[in-house]
Structure 1
Amino acid sequence: MSQRNPRTSPRPRTMAAGSPCPCGRPESYGDCCGRLHSGTAAASTAEQLMRSRYSAFAVGDRDYLLRSWHPRTRPSDLDLDARTQWVRLEILSTGEGTPFHNEGTVAFRAVYRENGREGELVEHSRFLRHDGAWVYLDALPE
């Protein structure tokens, strides 16, 4: 039996459906990203998928992150550091990625706190439709 790093989260943290959604939208988690995480809804845009993936990092939903990753670039496993607290998401720009497109980009800034210090991740992500669903492909080089 393999052992997980004690700093990683082996399963998602419980989040009440009525809690504010981590992605920053005004809807509750249950009405926003929680529907995508549970599989009762699918992202209709690249931005919606990006927001749901940020929320998955925030709640530690490793399985959703892997499911929403393009099979060509998806890692075989993903360990999430339980010490990282995702604080805020800001969408900087979007390109295509609407219900009428097959590819799109989303640039974002994600603020996190780790070991009492705040940091940020800035990324320009690419998304594609795979088998009809939006998936994360990769980050564009800077």
Structure 2
Amino acid sequence: MSRTCPCGLPAPYQDCCGKLHRGAAAAATAEQLMRSRFSAFGVGDAAYLLRTWHPAARPASLDLDRKVRWVRLEVLETTGGSVVHTEGTVRFRAHYAERGRPGVLEENSRFVRLEGRWVYAGVV
């Protein structure tokens, strides 16, 4: 039995964000990229996070905190970011647990197309 994707969509991880993480598909929308990045935090895929970060803002390396468990994602609002746009934003609320204590990160992220692919460009 497959585990459900951490991004919150009702699909198995391998058929949802897993295919983006493996490089078998690319995000079609800014929201799909945002969801796949949340899932990458959830499964500890730092390489995917770096690959999908705009080069102008991307850190040289990324060490994910293994004490943080990402548990749920709420997409609150999107602007642009569709298959016909070149820019978009996704406002979201990411729920996590750190050492058993719940926490929430709320952010409005900006995404742009770079060489035909969506990348994370930073916080609005």
Say whether the fold is shared (TM-score over 0.5). Answer: yes
Q: 2:6 — aligned with what?
A: 22
Higher strand share: 2
Compute the displacement of 1:23 (Å). 0.3
The runs of at least 4 consecutive aligned structure 1 residues that moved more than 3 Å come to none
Deviations 1:7-61 (A, max 9, x none): xxxxxxxxx8x21000000011011000000000000000000000000000000
TM-aligned CA deviation for residue 115 of structure 1: 1.0
Q: Over alpha carbons, which structure has the higher Rg?
A: 1
1:112 matched residue in structure 2? 96
| Whole-Å separation in 1 of the counterparts to 2:87 and 2:59 | 21
Q: Which has the higher helix share?
A: 2
Q: Report the number of matched residues.
A: 124
The letter of the residue matching 2:5 is C
Does 2:82 align with 1:76?
A: no
Q: Which residue of 1 aligns with 2:82?
A: 98
Which amino acid is 1:67 matched to?
Answer: R
d(CA) in 2 for partners of 1:28 and 1:103? Answer: 28
Among 44, 47, 50, which residue is 1:66 paired with? Answer: 50
If the length of structure 2 is used for normalisation, what is the TM-score? 0.98
Aligned alpha-carbon RMSD (Å): 0.8
The one of 85, 88, 110 equivalent to 1:126 is: 110
The share of aligned pairs that are identical, in percent, is 60
Uncovered stretches (5+) of structure 2, i.e. residues with no partner: none
Match of 1:136 among 88, 96, 120: 120
- 1:33 pairs with 8, 12, 17, which one? 17
